[in-house]
Amino acid sequence: MKIAILGGTGSIGEGFALRWAEKHEILVCSREIERAKNVASDYKNTLSNMGIHCCTITGCDNEAAIKDADVVVLSVPYQGVVALLEKLKPLFKDQIVISLVVPMKKNKMFEFVPPRQGSAALEIQEILPKTVKVVSAFHNVSARKLAKIEFILDYDVVICADDDDAKKTVMELTHDIKNLRPLDGGGLESSYMIESLTPFLINLAIRNKLSDLGIKFA
C-alpha cells in the first residue's frame, strides 16, 4: 500500500514512516521538497542502522504524493489544515484520508474548540470530494513514543468512519504497529469525542507532572 504522510517531516510523521515502512511504501511529504527528501533519507538510515528492511521511503511534495497515494495521513496542525486541503482538493480522487487533526487552543490550559461541523474530521469530510473516505484515528498516540521505534506502544486506537471498508483498512494499518489495538468507534460523527480527549490528556499530564499519556481500555 502506498501511504502519503502530510506533515511527514514532523515527529508523528516520523513515527508512522518508521513503523509502516517494513510493509508499505511511504511518501514523506512537505511543501519543501528538498527537506522531504533529506528527512526520508534520514528515516531510511535509521531503519538500516537497526537492521530493519523497509520497502521504500520517498521524499516528495504534497501534490505529487496525493496523486499516487492509496492512503493520505493528515498529521498537520488544525490551524493550517483547511487552507492546505482547499489548495490540494483537486488532486484527491478516492483515497482514504486518515485525520489525526485536533481543533484545540491554549489559554491557561488546552481547550477543545471544534468547528461548526462538530469535529475536525467532519470539517475535512465536507471540504474533500465525496469519493474520498475520511477516517478519524490515532489522535491519542504519543508522537514522541511513536517515533521511538524500539518503544512498544501498548495503547488502544479508536477509529471512526462512515465507510466500512476504509475503517477496516485503517484497522489493519493499526495492527501493523506492534501492540496497538484498533477499536471501532462508530461513524465519523463520533469523532468529536475522541478528538476532545487530546487536550484533556495533555492537561491531565500537566496537572499530574506526567508526559506522553495514551489510552488503554480494560
Predicted local distance difference test score (pLDDT) of residue 141: 93
C-alpha cell at 86: 482547499
- Residue 77: count other Cβ atoms within 10 Å of its Cβ: 13
- List phi, psi (to 5°) of 172: -65, -40
Q: Where are the alpha helices (DSSP H) in 2-158?
A: 11-20, 33-49, 62-68, 78-88, 120-127, 143-147
Q: How confident is the model at residue 114 (pLDDT cuts 50, 70, 90)?
A: very high
User: What is the Cα–Cα distance from 212 to 150, expressed in whole angstroms?
Assistant: 16
Q: What is the pTM of this model?
A: 0.95
Quick one: what percent of the chain has pLDDT higher than 70? 100
Res 55 pLDDT > 80: no
Please say whether the beta carbons of 195 and 103 come within 8 A.
yes
Q: What is the mean pLDDT of residues 158-163?
A: 98
SS3 151: coil
Q: How confident is the model at residue 11 (pLDDT cuts 50, 70, 90)?
A: confident
Domains and CATH numbers, the chain: 2-207 (3.40.50.720)
Predicted local distance difference test score (pLDDT) of residue 187: 98
Predicted local distance difference test score (pLDDT) of residue 51: 87
Predicted local distance difference test score (pLDDT) of residue 218: 87
pLDDT digits (tens, 9 = 90+) for 128-151: 999 999 999 999 999 999 999 989
Please say whether the beta carbons of 164 and 153 come within 8 A.
no
Predicted local distance difference test score (pLDDT) of residue 180: 96
Predicted local distance difference test score (pLDDT) of residue 182: 98
Please say whether the beta carbons of 113 and 105 come within 8 A.
yes
Of 78 and 53, more confident? 78
